[in-house]
Each structure stands twice: as C-alpha cells, then as structure tokens.
Amino acid sequence: MAANLNKTKRRIASVTSTKKITNAMELVATVKLKKYRNGMLSNSSYVEEITNLMKVLFKNAGSDVDETFVSENDSPITLYVVVTSNLGLCASYNNDIFKFVEKNVPIADSEILVVGTKGANYFAKSGYRTNDQFIDVTESFSSERIDKMCDFLRLNFENKKYKAIKLIYTKYVNSIRFKPDEITLFPVEKQTDESGYGYSAIFDPDCKTLINELLPIYASSVLYQKLIESQVSEQASRRNAMESATDNANELIDKLTLEYNNARQSNITQEIAEVVSSTIK
C-alpha cells in the first residue's frame, strides 16, 4: 500500500512540474500573439492600399511598361514560398501546411523556398526540390533580411527563372481558427475594372516610373504582412495547445489527488483495524 502511495505522489509531482512548463509557454505565446497581432493589424490597411495601387498602375500603364511582372514566364518551374514554424508544440499548425502543400503543389515542376526549420526538416525528406537560404527570416523579422528575400524573388522572376512565385502561409481567421492559404506574389494581378477608385486616375510621375519605384516596396510589404500573419496563427495555435495541456494537467492532478487521498484513507483505516484487532486479542 505504501508503495502505491509513493507512486501516486510521484505522478502528482511529475504532472505538476509539467503543468508549470505548459502554463509558462502559454503565457509566453499570449504575449507574442498580442505583439504580432498588433503588427499585423497596423500594417493591413497599408498593404491593402499599396496592393490596389499596384493593380491600378499595371492596368493603366498600357504600352509604357513591358509585361514582365503581369504575366507568367515560360519556365516550367513554379516557386512556392512555404512558411512554417521554427519551434514545435503548436498543435496542427505545421501539419496543416504540409498537407496543403502535398495536395496542391506538384513535385515534378515545383521548387519550395522554405521558411522555418520545421518545414526544412520535413520537405528535405519529401522529394520536393528545396531552397533553405531564407529559412531564418521569421526569427527576427529584420527589414534588411525581408528586403533581401524580396529582391531574390523579384529578380529571379524578372530573369524568367520561374513561371510564377506563390506564397503558402497560414491565414489568421480568429484566435481559434487558422487555415493554410495561397497567394501569388508574381505576376502581379491587374485591376479588372476601369480604375479601381471610381474615376479615371491621373499619375504624376508616369505609371512606368511609379511601378519601378513601388514594386520593391509592394513586394516587401505583402511578404512581411503574410509572414507576420503566419506568426500570429502560430502563436495562437501554440497558446491554445498549451492552454489545453494545462487544463488536462489540472484534471489529471485532481484525479490523482483524489486517488491518493482515497488510498491514504484506506491505509489509515486498515492500520486502525489492525490495532483494534490486536488489542482485542
């Protein structure tokens, strides 16, 4: 009986120790979630406006610019930028991305530019052609690093190395719902209506000059927005996972404590019965 009591007591101590870790990780994820979500929200309006502006510029440029950035190239290879996490313990965040890629990205005519060590480890064994030179871009969100990544993507598309460049990331819906999504970085989508603003636009300087000046800013802004949105989804997923783990630990501790108290009470009752029986004899 004493051995069982000690065993239960050790299990309670072990689960309590685990609960402290999951609770601490939940708090850290909550702080990071707030930080990244504020960054995402403050940047979203800017990205929406510059995206609309680029569509309008390409729509109205006419023969002033070539079709380099508004039509697919003849290359058979499409480059996919796939955003995953550097750390684990974030529930199904990475697995959902992996399943999405396997379902939508053909191995034969694709190349994956991996962001995040989890993706690098997974795709290295999956048969995809991979490039991991920007694997660490989400570790610090350095503007210099993101600009360098954008230059790599833009120049390789301009040099017709890739048919198109697409980004697969995790779209943030709300604190408990996130889903993998895909957008096209290059070619840039043209505006489909006449102006996009309800009136004929007049540009000064001309469209060609504006496009050349704004294209790097546009690419960096969109990429940054989607990277930070993936971070929001990752931290929300990790927080939910750690919250669930902490709740499960509390339930298990309650169950083990009850089990320990019942066993201890039974042990005391047995000892009393033995003393009483000995006295009567």
Q: What is the CATH number of the domain that holds 40?
A: 3.40.1380.10
Beta bridge partners of 78: 110
pTM given for the model: 0.85
Q: Considering the domain boundaries, does residue 223 fall inside one?
A: yes
pLDDT at 56: 82
Residue 26 CA: distances (Å) to CA of 13, 32, 78, 86: 20, 10, 38, 17
Question: In this structure, is residue 9 part of a structural domain?
Answer: no
The answer to the question of residue 257 being in a domain is: no
Q: Please tell me the total count of domains within the chain.
A: 1
Q: Spell out the residues 6+ positions from residue 23 whose beta carbon is closer than 8 angstroms to its own.
A: 242, 246
Q: What is the pLDDT of residue 119?
A: 93
For residue 81, what are its two tokens? 């930028």
User: Could you tell me which of 143, 140, 166 has the C-alpha nearest to residue 153?
Assistant: 166
280: in domain = no
The answer to whether position 260 is within a domain reads no
Could you read off the pLDDT tens digit of each residue along the chain, which spans 281 residues? 566 778 888 899 999 999 999 999 999 999 999 999 999 999 999 999 998 888 888 877 766 666 678 889 999 999 999 999 999 999 899 999 999 999 999 998 999 999 999 999 999 888 899 999 999 998 878 888 999 999 999 999 999 999 999 999 999 998 888 999 999 999 987 665 544 555 567 778 888 888 888 888 999 999 999 999 999 999 999 999 999 999 999 999 999 999 888 878 877 777 777 676 766 65
pLDDT of residue 211: 86
Residue 118's domain spans which residues? Answer: 22-241
Exposure letters 140-150 (e unless 16+ CB within 10 A, then b): eeeeeebbebb
Is position 48 within any domain?
Answer: yes
Q: List beta partners, residue 179.
A: 171
Q: Is position 281 within any domain?
A: no
* Within-domain flag for 17: no
